[in-house]
Chains A and B, each alone.
Chain A
Amino acid sequence: MDLLTAPPPRMPWPARVDPQQLLMLLRAADLRGRGGASFPTATKIASALGRRPLLVVNACDGEPLVAKDEVLLRRSPGLVADGAALVAQAVGAREVVLAAHQGSAAESHLRQLLAVERFRWPAARLLAVPRRYVASEASALASAALGGPALPAYHERPMSTGGTAGGDAVLVLNAETLAQVALLWAGHRAPLSRLVTLSGALAASGVLEVAPATTVADLVDLAGGPTEAPRAVLVGGYGGGWLDWTTAAPLTLDQLDHAVGLGAGLLHVLGSGACPVEEVAAITDYLASQSAGQCGPCMFGLPALALDWRELSQAPTADAAWRRLQRRLPLVEGRGACRHPDGAVRQLATAVQTFGDHLQQHRAGHCDAVARTLVGVAP
């Protein structure tokens, strides 16, 4: 494919970049951000034109199970560098900020890139952020790039247009998105490939580059096949969406994107030996623990939702928990400075839809994953 195994030759430099020509290419290919939010890249870049923004290259792989930015930087650092150079030139960026988690492999790849590529960028530096889930969220990176804490920040206007607290314009683009920009500039055309991180009950987990017409079943085969009968898949990331295996298997990545959103490109396979009640509880607890604790609906709402999920699986508390979830899920969504609570809500809401039968088993004191009667639960 193009990103990982056969990248085009490096772009000649200096390059003269006509912003409108670049935007036209991105629009024609309908390139959308690969960091999770899937926002149209051309629209974001166009909004920063003439504002001398900081260009932040997000190579954080903020989703704990996702490793695509790191793999991309290891295999094709030149593509990310070319994409960053193109966009920096097109928008007249005043500085390029390369962002990764502290102590990560991506951080050392970026350090090398900085040493070799500096001459293509107006000015450039490395930004290492803490290994917290929300530290790599776009507004948190922008805050850190401007010298503040790596915490999500509220803004009423887009950051790319100067909506940050101090009025600076900050354009945050994911590393894979920038690599796709470089590919399009080099003459590649849609359909664009995707980097997918496969994890869970698979013989060979890892990052693959695939065409958008690839089905979930094909992907699982490409990852060496399942190690046990698949029960469900989590798509996008921890803040993504669950689908049961029968529904997901025949879907192409494009269809999956429509159904639940591809997010940061995670495909996590839950095997029949794993208990979805426990798995969803662990993920929801984790997401609650990763709240920055800044916004009320997130810092109080996520722990409340995590408790509701546990109570939903126990007969005496299930009905009340169901009513609370129906009220709280829509209430928590969309009320944070960042999208962290929205992701937690999506994961839990799709879990409720997907694992209804399994929840019912638990209420009856049984769990087919562990094939035994649950201790301490009245049948």
Chain B
Amino acid sequence: VTTGSASLRVDPVACTASGLCAGWLPERIVLDEWGYPVLDRAPLPAGLVRHAKRAARECPVRALRLAVHG
């Protein structure tokens, strides 16, 4: 079920540790002890792409990105 077409990135300079992304996509994002996201950067399975897009959209500083390949 892996599309192999999209994966998560975070701009660490922009990130302000709102923690919202981990709320929207707990399957792929956990927060470190300081509240900053630790991403699973493997390609997203198709079923998670919609949630990943939502997580990216909800980031207050747009630090979370969905990198689309090929």
Contact = CB atoms under 8 A, between A and B. Distances in A.
Interface of A: 152-154, 156, 294-298, 300-301, 331, 335-337
Nearest to B14: A154
Contacts, number: 38
How big is chain B's contact interface, by range? Answer: 10 to 19
12 contacts: A156-B67, A294-B12, A294-B13, A295-B15, A296-B34, A296-B35, A296-B36, A297-B36, A335-B12, A335-B38, A337-B12, A337-B13
B21 to A, nearest CB: 13
Contacts of B17: 296
Interface of B: 9, 11-15, 17, 32, 34-36, 38, 65, 67
Contact of B9 (A152, A156, A331): A156
Point out which of B15, B35, B36, B65 has the most chain A C-beta atoms below 10 A from its C-beta. B36
B38 A154 contact: no
The A interface, classified by DSSP as helix, strand, loop or mixed, is loop
A296 B15 CA distance: 8
7 nearest A-B residue pairs (beta carbon): A296-B36, A295-B12, A300-B34, A294-B13, A154-B11, A154-B13, A337-B13
B32 to A, nearest CB: 6
Contact of B13 (A295, A301, A331): A295
Nearest to B11: A154
B42 to A, nearest CB: 15
